[in-house]
Structure 1
Amino acid sequence: MNQEAPRARPDRAGTSGVRTGEHVNYVDLVLERLSTDDEREALIGGDTRLTRAQARDLLLRLADGLARRGIGPGDGVAAFVGNTPEAVLLVVAVHLLGARLVYVPPEPGTNELKALIERAEVKGVVVDPAFSDRLGGWDLRDLPGDPVVRTPEPTFTTVMYTGGTTGLPKLAVHHSNRRWEAFRAMPPMSVLCTTLITHGSGAAACQMALTTGSKLVLGPSVFDAGTFCRLAREEGITSTVFVPPMMYEVLDHPDRPGPQFGSVIVGGSALAPRRLREAIEAWGPVVHQTYGMTEALSITSMPATSVDFDRPDTTRTVGKANPVLEVETRDGDVWVRGPFVMQGYWGEPTLAETAGGWFNTGDMGYFDDEGYLYLNDRSKDVIVTGRTSDNVYSRLLDDFLVTLPGIRQAAAVARPDEALGEAVHVFLVAEGPDVDVDRIRASVVAELGELYQPRGVTVVPELPLTAVGKVDKRKLRSLFR
């Protein structure tokens, strides 16, 4: 795997490698941004600060290092890296060569990681030992070669692992370059990336920053609310992307930033209406909710300007469908088709072959008469309980519980029950040590009905999260096995 291939020739068509015409993709735009205003800061992470000129130079050297190792169009490159400027530029370098980038998540164990990489059929693995030493491969620090200018290949592929909350992660294959087109018209910002760059929201934040010519500041690979607050203040951050639990931690932090943001995007899981109100009150009408997933990006959006707290329904909707996508419900399930939807899972038939391009999100929901989408629950999180086996939508219960005094976070899951099949059990994060369980049960029954009454209540200091920052209900359910 370490044998060097013949070096690629520099591009003689120009000095920047930037191409114009119908085959322009986001890599062309990144190179264009990095080829102007050389001394403007582009990438900041830890103790590293790169100007545009330095970032472009490193990007080209990383591409050369990959080319020396035999990477070309269509070859697979796995990235097992943390949040560093070098890792961000590695992603672009792989795409510059027209290769297939495989994002590797950190959450599986070492043996499972190796099995997943083998299944991805890659030609090489780039690792950052400072992030993790669990895998062998090409050391990211040793990868750069010479700053060889290349015209980007017209096509590339990105493979992303799913969050893995239902078992072994799968590999979602994306080919579309259309996402960057929405970023192209946006003005430069100061963007703070809060999640891992190898996950959906982090990857989107990086691509948005690079294609708009923004300053990109990378938070640590493991999220810390205090660090976020400090970086937001010191770096003059104007835009960021959260998953809800991270946003909650920032809202609860004594040094949380004030109304300095022009855009706060929140996605990845359901957002509690009470916390949405807190965010808008803290930062203004700049909080945009988005609904999407690894397999289908940017399905809907709901801007804060459309939220009316006198109409509670506007705090529960995930917004209207992305105009470039088709979104519909079938028997309560949300289906989607279009350019932001994966082609399929690696090694399996494509969606075009099996479902006419349509993807079943696994979410249950409905549209109102104005075209707003409401999500009831993830299908796997519905609790089937009672003498007539009725559905309890755990998200609805979660959202209500955090409206009660003293409750900061809540997660309702199914607990096996001989009489009911499944019983409602809730895990609560409370503000203080005293939790009146009887009052909570009575409030739930009064608001949602007897079916939603928690049969069990557990108070915990914090809820378990997946590596992408979602509440790990699978782990909570496993406590009852």
Structure 2
Amino acid sequence: MLERLSTDDEREALIGGDTRLTRAQARDLLLRLADGLASRGVGPGDGVAAFVGNTPEAVLLVVAVHLLGARLVYVPPEPGTNELKALVERADVKGVVVDPAFSTRLDGRPLADLPGEPVERTPAPDYTTIMYTGGTTGLPKLAVHHADGRWEAFRHTPAMNVLCNTLITHGSGAAACQLALTTASKLVLGPSVFDADTCVRLIRDEKITMTVFVPPMMYEVLDHPDCPGPQLGYVIVGGSALAPRRLRQAVERWGPVVNQAYGMTEAMSITMMPAAEVDLDRPDSLRTVGRPNPLMEVETRDGDIWVRGPFVMQGYWGEAPLSETADGWFNTGDVGHFDDDGYLYLDDRSKDVIVTGRTSDNVYSRLLDDFLVSLPGIRQAAAVARPDEALGEAVHVFLVADGPDVDVDRIRASVVAELGELYQPRGVTILPELPKTTIGKVDKRKLRSLFR
């Protein structure tokens, strides 16, 4: 990144809000941020928590922490205030850097006050990143990653105009930033909370050629009245599986440029479905997340997807590493299968499988979600489990429709005809929009909480 920022000084490098930085300005600020950290005693292995939004200064803070060999702890906004404090305490950090314009729910040193005067320091050979994943025990789960060298493969990639739509403290946003800075691309930051109007405007005004979406964000852009045409040359979609109908819509709108990536906070870069392998005449190519990354081992064990390789985390902070507990293997929590050609298909998240019926059979909610959005007038769908005394769990679907007149009986009949009686929705709720996490995924946990 320093090499890229040390050429063609006046070329724009980072854009966010009203801030526009040239390469020379970005390099200068990056080094002053590193100086500011070093002057406050931050060195190799020390933890620095970053509670920041999507700004050029925040992107450069991330690089500055790594430049010192320090341990960067991404702090996302999803947790409540008490859990935020618990996360920072659990991560054993030396200091917290905050952007008060982003949130005031966590105390720390304001990012704007961090740049310092030059101090003597040398780049560190290694660094560590810690990312929040939540937890089922009430304690934050913190995935530990070391430098993996994945960006070396992009050294000769031509420069692009890259738009980051997701928070830079999440995997997809962090990856978009790293890709841009290592390819000498212009990096444009969308707002910390995704807004389709802003996204469409930035694509047009900044002549964006490459971007990263999570599926609900892409759907909003596709539904936007000013959705861009075939301007985008490279689109990556990840975070959750794409609905085949929506993937077809994107390819028809933008051309063969939509690449699916399957990964997660704990295990990045598991598979990739290149745009060139998506064939609108082969429906299965619209459902798969592609073949495994050549550097990764991917297996299915009783339906569960297990992975091992350089892009898998070392383990959770404060717990034994995977190399000691599972020979490096990690259970993704996803349910899937391979076809005869080695393509992986995601059937569901383990926690989203609905166990229902007299014989307690599995309803794969992702399969139902995909079918529902193929019905006329249905824009978005989310199937979740609703507690039921007779069935254990009942299938309940939340829908976003084009208009107020939704024929629920027709929807039920269509589901039964296509997927069978087991998949029949026992309840249907029409919403103006589906709740989403901060990163833009449909928040099924929030939907399930409505039944408590």
Scaled to the shorter chain, the TM-score interval is over 0.9
> What is the aligned partner in structure 2 of residue 444 from structure 1?
415
> What is the aligned partner in structure 2 of residue 191 from structure 1?
162
TM-superposed deviation, 1:181? 1.6
For the pair 1:251 / 2:251, whether they are aligned, the reply is: no
- 5 Å-filtered alignment, 1:26-425, equals 30-147=1-118, 150-162=121-133, 168-425=139-396
Q: Distance in 1 between matches of 2:422 and 2:233?
A: 42
> What is the aligned partner in structure 2 of residue 3 from structure 1?
none
Cα deviations across residues 390-421 of structure 1 (Å, max 9, x unaligned)?
A: 00000000000000000000000011111111
In terms of mean alpha carbon deviation, does 120-129 or 303-312 score higher? 303-312
Q: Distance in 2 between matches of 1:252 and 1:401?
A: 17
- Where 1:318 maps in the other structure, the secondary structure is strand
- CA RMSD in angstroms comes to 1.2
In terms of mean alpha carbon deviation, does 307-316 or 200-209 score higher? 307-316
In terms of mean alpha carbon deviation, does 191-200 or 461-470 score higher? 461-470
TM-superposed deviation, 1:456? 0.5
Cα deviations across residues 126-159 of structure 1 (Å, max 9, x unaligned)?
A: 0011111111111100000125575420000000
- Are the equivalent residues in 1 in contact too, given 2:134–2:142 (CA < 8 A)? no
Q: Which amino acid aligns with 1:270?
A: A
Q: Distance in 2 between matches of 1:224 and 1:164?
A: 28
TM-superposed deviation, 1:42? 0.4
TM-superposed deviation, 1:169? 3.8
State the TM-score, normalizing by the size of structure 2.
Answer: 0.98
Identify if the C-alpha distance between structure 1 residues 50 and 147 changes in structure 2 by more than 3 Å, giving closer, same or farther: farther
- Where 1:129 maps in the other structure, the secondary structure is coil
TM-superposed deviation, 1:469? 1.2
> What is the aligned partner in structure 2 of residue 14 from structure 1?
none
Q: Which amino acid aligns with 1:462?
A: E
Q: Which amino acid aligns with 2:281?
A: D
TM-superposed deviation, 1:306? 1.1
Q: Which amino acid aligns with 1:244?
A: P
Q: Percent identity?
A: 85
TM-superposed deviation, 1:168? 4.9
Q: Distance in 1 between matches of 2:405 and 2:90?
A: 49
Q: Which amino acid aligns with 2:48?
A: V
Identify if the C-alpha distance between structure 1 residues 108 and 86 changes in structure 2 by more than 3 Å, giving closer, same or farther: same
Identify if the C-alpha distance between structure 1 residues 183 and 151 changes in structure 2 by more than 3 Å, giving closer, same or farther: farther
Q: Which amino acid aligns with 1:332?
A: G
In terms of mean alpha carbon deviation, does 159-168 or 371-380 score higher? 159-168
Cα deviations across residues 155-185 of structure 1 (Å, max 9, x unaligned)?
A: 0000001166996541000013322122222
TM-superposed deviation, 1:310? 2.4
- Where 1:444 maps in the other structure, the secondary structure is helix
Q: Distance in 1 between matches of 2:269 and 2:434?
A: 26
State the TM-score, normalizing by the size of structure 1.
Answer: 0.92
- Are the equivalent residues in 2 in contact too, given 1:334–1:364 (CA < 8 A)? yes
- Are the equivalent residues in 1 in contact too, given 2:48–2:97 (CA < 8 A)? yes
Q: Distance in 1 between matches of 2:140 and 2:157?
A: 33
Q: Distance in 1 between matches of 2:254 and 2:380?
A: 21
- Are the equivalent residues in 2 in contact too, given 1:171–1:345 (CA < 8 A)? yes
Unaligned runs of 5+ in 2: none
Q: Distance in 2 between matches of 1:305 and 1:288?
A: 8
